[in-house]
Amino acid sequence: MQASDRFNINSQLEHLQAKYVGTGHADLNRFEWAVNIQRDSYASYIGHYPMLAYFAVAENESIGRERYNFMQVNNILSFCLVF
């Protein structure tokens, strides 16, 4: 990389991206990526009511129960990344 590129927007872009939870980098391993995927997935299920409703029908549970379950999984997952 040239000297002049060191401080340009692209290097900053990476820095900026790194501020967000869930973004990755070249040294991310399979496990960490998978945890992120799982977290995003459960967060997404919780966020989309129709999805919850669908799962509820499929699992024969109430929607609230589904939501609660997903929350629990998500909490455990967020714990996974902390260590």
Partner 1 sequence: MDIDNEIAKTQEERRRKEEELASLTSLTFDRDLYGGTDRDAYVTSIPMPRGEDDDNALGFRKPAKIIDREDEYRRRRLNQVISPDRHDAFAAGEKTPDPSVRTYADVMREQALAREKEETLRAIAKKKKEEEEAAKVEKESGGAAAAVPKRRNRWDQSQDDGSAAAKKAKTTSDWDLPDATPGIGRWDATPTPGRVSDATPSVGRRNRWDETPTPGRLADSDATPAGGVTPGATPAGVTWDATPKGLVTPTPKRQRSRWDETPATMGSATPMAGATPAVPLTPGVTPFGGTDLQTPTPSNLRGPMTPEQYNLLRWEKDIEERNRPLTDEELDAMFPQEGYKILEPPASYVPIRTPARKLLATPTPMGTPLYAIPEENRGQQFDVPKEAPGGLPFMKPEDYQYFGSLLNEENEEELTPEEQKERKIMKLLLKVKNGTPPQRKTALRQLTDKAREFGANALFNRILPLLMQPTLEDQERHLLVKVIDRVLYKLDELVRPYVHKILVVIEPLLIDEDYYARVEGREIISNLSKAAGLATMIAAMRPDIDNIDEYVRNTTARAFSVVASALGIPALLPFLKAVCQSKKSWQARHTGIKIVQQIAILIGCAVLPHLKSLVEIIEHGLNDENQKVRTITALSLAALAEAAAPYGIESFDSVLKPLWKGIRSHRGKVLAAFLKAIGFIIPLMDAIYASYYTKEVMFILIREFQSPDEEMKKIVLKVVKQCVSTEGVEAEYIRNDILPEFFRNFWVRRMALDRRNYRQLVETTVEMANKVGVADIVGRIVEDLKDESEPYRRMVMETIEKVVANLGASDIDARLEELLIDGILYAFQEQTSDDANVMLNGFGAVVNSLGQRVKPYLPQICGTIKWRLNNKSAKVRQQAADLISRIAVVMKQCQEEQLMGHLGVVLYEYLGEEYPEVLGSILGALKAIVNVIGMTKMTPPIKDLLPRLTPILKNRHEKVQENCIDLVGRIADRGAEFVPAREWMRICFELLEMLKAHKKGIRRATVNTFGYIAKAIGPQDVLATLLNNLKVQERQNRVCTTVAIAIVAETCSPFTVLPALMNEYRVPELNVQNGVLKSLSFLFEYIGEMGKDYIYAVTPLLEDALMDRDLVHRQTAASAVKHMALGVAGLGCEDALVHLMNYVWPNIFETSPHVINAVMEAIEGMRVALGAAIVLNYCLQGLFHPARKVREVYWKIYNSLYIGSQDALVAAYPILEDEQSSEQNNIYSRPELMMFV
Q: Note whether 62 binds partner 1 by CB under 8 A.
A: no
Contact string 23-42 vs partner 1 (x = CB under 8 A): xxxx-x-xx-xx--xx-xx-
Q: Note whether 63 binds partner 1 by CB under 8 A.
A: no
SS (H, E, C) the chain: CCHHHHHCHHHHHHHHHHCCCCCCCCCCCHHHHHHHHHHHHHHHHHHCHHHHHHHHHHHCCCHHHHHHHHHHHHHHHHHHHHC
Residues that bind partner 1 (CB under 8 A): 1-3, 5, 8-10, 13-14, 17-18, 20, 22-26, 28, 30-31, 33-34, 37-38, 40-41, 44-45, 47, 54-55, 57-59
